[in-house]
Amino acid sequence: MRFTPFILLIVLCSFSVLAQCGDLDSNDPCPQDLANGFANDPRAWNAIVENTALLNDPTVLNAAFSEDLRRTIGIINDQPSTLSLPRVLTRFDQEVARDVQLLNENPAARHAWFSERFKIDDKGGIVEMYDGSQVTTGGDKGLTFTAIDFPGAIVNEDGSLTYDDIVFDGAKSLFILSENGMNRIKVIGGFIEYAHSDPVPHILDFENGFFTRKFANGVEVQYSGDFLYEQKKDGVHVQSTSYVEEGKWIGEPFERILIGNGINKDHHVHGTIIEPLNTDLRNLILEGRVHLETDSGAVFDIVMDDNDQVFYTEHPTRNAASFCPVNDACIVNSGQNDDYRDRLAFLNIQQDQQVSFASKSFYDTVEVIDNHGTVSYQSLSRNGKVISTITHNAGEKVKYRGFLPSTNAGRVDIMSEQCTGTECTDTLQHWSSNRFQKEEVTSYFNDKISFTSCNVGVDCLQRIARASGRVRPGRSGTPDTVIIIAGDNADTARSLESSWCREHGCYIINSRDVPPTYPGDHALPDTVENMVVTGHHYKKGDSYWRDAKGTAPNTHNPIDLLYVNPVKDTSPFNIVPSGKNLKHVRSSSCNSAFEPTLVNYATGHMISADYIERNPNLVYAGGWDGKSPVTDRISLVANQLRDEDATRVEFISPKDGSVRGIKAGVRKLDPHCKGSQCVWVYERFQKQPDGEFKITQQVINPMAR
């Protein structure tokens, strides 16, 4: 008898439920009657059309879907908010996983399903596959992605997926990967694009993927292959998935292409590169062990600790090294032409860092400055055969193998600081080649088969001239003139050898052999008072240069640029040298006379005001206005301009023997001082029709000293 209340309760509850049911015409039909009616009573379908919430009853839901699946989903498509009902959404999800065309036949229901099931916005994309987890979209840019991983995403009409402004296109698989407490988007295959100005908001892990980053200035960076892409505080880190085993890289490098605004760079990378924030994309930081191949065929191998860094730039300007922090390891690989490049510099390579470089390209200058580790430079022929290998270990003499004269460099310089107690000097190991120079120059200088060592600022000109150029001691035994051949022939030097140099003595060097010059330094010894520079020169240009061997007639192909003045962060090995006691400078070059004005302190003209400033005792500087003769015979002739110390230069043409005085010149007068403040005054003079010179202008340097 004790079980009777329980039985009675069941009976009462069942009766209560049935009592609430109306017939099929009522607003509250019995679920069982409704379910039974789908087969033969249209009022059942009318009931759920009028109130789709009835489908949330499991009995009604199962009956409707079982009786007529497409009719049920059609009702949901007409009233897509029905999918906000949990049971309906679950059953709908199960059915479309079995037949994905149900989604495409009912676009409104598909839109609601994406929204309710995954919090994704559907913009009309076709769904080709759904397995309950992964969605495959159709269209030209269709992809496969784990839908639950991308709330807030947009499925586009073309099949692509936009997530936090990243557009994913064609991926074979796209999902969130959690590892070591970090989430990243795993991308297998396909194309990804990001064109927003803000940093990429996710870590991207690519497997055979292609990623394009677009910037407002029209520049694009494209990455492809297997790599990890992550935005950090110091910039974008891009890391290959390859690794080193027994000294060899296992796996494939990723490719990085930089295009737009006249830039076209292509690199293949093993290891990690960093794109620093707010800098040119041709500037990189290499972190840990890195193997880098450039589109010019150059190969860098850098061995260092995991957290060690080497700054790297391919910016084409003279001052590309401005990217390099002071005292940090840096590599400068600058130039516009892949075959003939400007500068390769290894700066401040640190202890325990090993840098190996191999290239088929020719470089004007190859420099190793303040090396504390190991640097190896290997020249390759066009077919990849090793021509020569030059290696420098910190504190040691340079070592080389192969045929040095065929090395792919105009000059190679290793400069290091040597200290004894508190006294420090820079020592230089220097070598230069004759490659790409015309025969008129190479026949004047011998091939160099070894390096020359000297002390910078002390004896480099003397030692290099003896080893690589010519020395004519003159009557006193100590030359007071330096001749720099920066052009296509040595005719002017030959003429001076037989005349001027016999009396005064001359150091004669190729422009590839000028001693190093830094701002504020004097590369010429105190005994040098005169300097002659030959070579081509463009009007208003800031450098002398020569044409490469094989340049077509009536055209120019400038190489070996020798700049008038040093600029911060530029190479010290291609500067017209200055001297403490230098008095006279003559330029045997076209367009090398002064322009009509000298108001701008840094005009960039051939012998400009800043060059005069570098030579405190300079009293005369002159050149040619217009075209210079192929061969100049030069002699000093005393001439009263303003004071007895003033001199001028005459150019004598070998064709007609006539005296051609220079057309213009500038000299610096003594400073005008008031108290501790001084200004420098420059005087311009111009040749008059009668052959005499007349002062035409005085210019006061606006920079007070």
pLDDT at position 703 is: 34
Task: Tell me the sheet residues that pair with 697.
Answer: 684
Same domain, 389 and 485: no
Closest CA to 411 of 523, 614, 575: 575
How many domains in the chain? 3
State the Cα–Cα distance between residues 651 and 290, nearest whole angstrom.
56
Asked if residue 330 is part of any domain, the answer here is: yes
Asked if residue 57 is part of any domain, the answer here is: yes
Same domain, 370 and 495: no
Q: Is the pTM of this model over 0.75?
A: yes
Q: What is the mean pLDDT of residues 285-296?
A: 94
Same domain, 472 and 427: no
> Token pair for residue 589?
């070059």
Same domain, 467 and 424: no
Contacts 24+ apart (CB under 8 A), 90-94: 91/61, 91/62, 91/65, 93/117, 93/132, 94/132
Q: What is the mean pLDDT of residues 521-530?
A: 92
Asked if residue 627 is part of any domain, the answer here is: yes
202 has pLDDT over 80: yes
Asked if residue 27 is part of any domain, the answer here is: yes
Asked if residue 215 is part of any domain, the answer here is: no
Same domain, 490 and 425: no
Q: What is the mean pLDDT of residues 53-80?
A: 94
Range of the domain at 315: 282-433
420 has pLDDT over 90: no
Same domain, 294 and 377: yes
- Among the candidates 118, 146, 172, a domain finishes at 118
Same domain, 487 and 372: no
> Token pair for residue 337?
């032409």
Which pLDDT tens digit goes with each residue over 103-118?
A: 999 999 999 999 999 9
> Token pair for residue 228?
């990890």
524 has pLDDT over 90: yes
Same domain, 557 and 665: yes
State the Cα–Cα distance between residues 137 and 64, nearest whole angstrom.
28
Same domain, 372 and 509: no
Q: What is the mean pLDDT of residues 345-366?
A: 96
Collapse the DSSP code of 255 into the 3-class scheme (helix H, G, I; strand E, B; otherwise coil) and give the result: strand
Which pLDDT tens digit goes with each residue over 301-335?
A: 999 999 999 999 999 989 999 999 999 999 999 98
Asked if residue 511 is part of any domain, the answer here is: yes
What kind and span of H or E run contains 462? helix 460-468
Same domain, 368 and 483: no
Closest CA to 185 of 142, 149, 148, 136: 149
Same domain, 507 and 650: yes
Q: Phi first, then psi: what are they for 52, rounded to 5°?
A: -70, -10
278 has pLDDT over 60: yes
State the Cα–Cα distance between residues 705 and 673, nearest whole angstrom.
9
Which pLDDT tens digit goes with each residue over 550-595?
A: 999 889 999 999 998 888 899 999 999 999 999 888 887 777 764 4
State the Cα–Cα distance between residues 399 and 396, nearest whole angstrom.
9
Same domain, 514 and 569: yes
- Among the candidates 75, 95, 118, a domain finishes at 118
> Token pair for residue 418?
């040597």
Asked if residue 241 is part of any domain, the answer here is: no
Which pLDDT tens digit goes with each residue over 363-391?
A: 999 999 999 999 999 999 999 999 999 99
pLDDT at position 33 is: 75
Which pLDDT tens digit goes with each residue over 458-483?
A: 999 999 999 999 999 999 999 999 99
Closest CA to 271 of 303, 296, 236: 303
> Token pair for residue 45?
């379908």
- Among the candidates 118, 133, 167, a domain finishes at 118
255 has pLDDT over 90: yes
Asked if residue 615 is part of any domain, the answer here is: yes
- Return the exposure string of 185-197: e unless at least 16 CB atoms fall within 10 Å of the residue's CB, then b: bbbbbbbbbbeee
547 has pLDDT over 70: yes
Which pLDDT tens digit goes with each residue over 215-235?
A: 888 899 999 999 999 999 999
Cα dist. 226→210, 276, 545 in Å? 9, 21, 45
User: What is the Cβ-side half-sphere exposure of residue 402, based on CA atoms within 13 angstroms?
Assistant: 18
Which pLDDT tens digit goes with each residue over 643-689?
A: 223 333 332 222 333 333 445 555 555 555 555 555 555 555 566 67
> Token pair for residue 629?
């003769």
